[in-house]
Amino acid sequence: MRLHFVGAAQEVTGSCYLIETEGLRFLVDCGMHQGGREAQGRNLARWPMDPRTLDFVLLTHAHIDHSGLLPRLCAHGFKGPIYATRATADLLSVMLLDSAFIQESDWARQQRRRGHGRRTPRADNELLYTVAQAQACLAQVQGVDYDTALPAHKDVRVHFRDAGHILGSAILELELRDGGRQRKLVFSGDLGQPGRPIVRNPVAIEQADVLLVESTYGDRLHRPLEETVDELCAVIDDTLSRRQGNVIVPAFALGRTQELLVLLAQLRQSGRLPPMQVFVDSPMADKVTAITARHRDELDADGQAFWGTGRHLPPGLQVRFTQSVEESMALNRIKAGAIVIAASGMCDAGRIRHHLRHNLGRPECAIVIVGFQAEGTLGRRLVNGERRVRLLGEEHRVRASVHTIGGLSAHADRDALLGWLRGFKKPPRQTYVVHGEAATALGFAERVKAELGWRVRAPLVGEVVEL
């Protein structure tokens, strides 16, 4: 029985793990690499196995760094089922089609530039996948209920447990039989921070032979939610009321946008925020929000209350979802009083780039970062305090204030990760720390070893271990 770390080992994106036994081969996650010049080349690289030989794929959740290469996998010959929670299955119909549209648009833009004699990266000669290929892939997705045993194969039984990260996110408990041996593997997926708005807390797991645990924020603590809310209120009030500018929020269309809407409604209802015009400039976010409402039974009390009343908004809060490109462009004519929430969350694609282009150079405006920013992304450069950034082929000075509101992260911080690990009744035989930048993953592995006394390490991409 072998475990192959295909991606997200001493790195954050590209989550993918290959499990092989006698007569069985399957993947857990099939994510896209994001951030940095090497990402597209890695997405286009050859698979470490023949996709036609895979029996099935298990998916922890719908974020593109966990699901984004599924259409390419299917286009290269994978014909088996893709198992995910029912909410994740619904979300994939939005996420993968949007990703494919971006792939086609970016590829076409590169071809036009090449036609005008401009040099472009060699990797961009190949289109990652098309909208048609993404649509074909969706036919292989099968929705599964939480906490119900899935016989994925005669030698594999799987339970999907709530990971508390985003709608539909799951911890995977796998019972594998290989000859006369049986092993229990647990994949944490991305774990959420307990007590956050909308989603439920991660489910505790008590036993595993082999555990893979994420470590995105394994080297730091999030600010307490109360302090985070205080900071968010201060930034919005100062920007809208005193400085007379706009607040620009790069936010993932899935998860963060819906949490922000609930939080803004609560803060306006309590009188902590001034009257606001909120523009959600993302057709995908609009679709995701509708899916969230359909699956409100999987949310916490705050989420169920908000969507159970038909997304009722308090007086003084206007929320508008923009659809067309023309509506999006019109927002750039608003010079003050607007909160614009747009994707992508790391500022490297989508409509957020245009809003940053029109507001980064204005000292009266604020850029509010509410999620993890991977190395190599524009969002990371803003968080790091760079005063000049390249955006849409042009250099821009950063005069707007940049605020990192870390307490709204969808990922568990160091202490929350350790708290989840302490829920195991006994140490797994082997624990692998994954889904964290190299220094973070290595440091968290050492902390787990020191505090819990577990056998643990952080593997490298491409490493293969015998279980």
Topology of domain 225-408, per CATH? Rossmann fold (3.40.50)
* Domain layout of the chain by residue ranges: 2-220+410-466, 225-408
- Superfamily for domain range 2-220+410-466: Ribonuclease Z/Hydroxyacylglutathione hydrolase-like (3.60.15.10)
For residue 462, the model assigns a pLDDT of 96
Instruction: Write out the chain's pLDDT in tens, 467 residues.
Output: 999 999 999 999 999 999 999 889 999 999 999 877 788 899 999 999 999 999 999 999 999 999 999 999 999 999 999 999 999 999 999 999 999 998 898 888 778 877 666 555 544 568 999 999 999 999 999 999 999 999 999 999 999 999 999 999 999 999 999 888 899 999 999 999 998 888 999 999 999 999 999 999 999 999 888 999 999 999 999 999 999 999 999 988 888 899 999 999 999 999 999 999 999 998 888 999 899 999 999 999 888 888 776 667 899 999 999 989 999 999 999 999 999 999 888 888 889 999 999 999 999 999 999 887 878 889 999 999 999 999 988 999 999 999 998 788 889 999 999 999 999 999 999 999 999 999 999 999 999 999 999 999 999 999 999 99
Predicted pLDDT at 311: 63
Q: Which of 430, 414, 426 lies closest to 206, judged by CA?
A: 426
Is pTM, for the whole model, over 0.75? Answer: yes
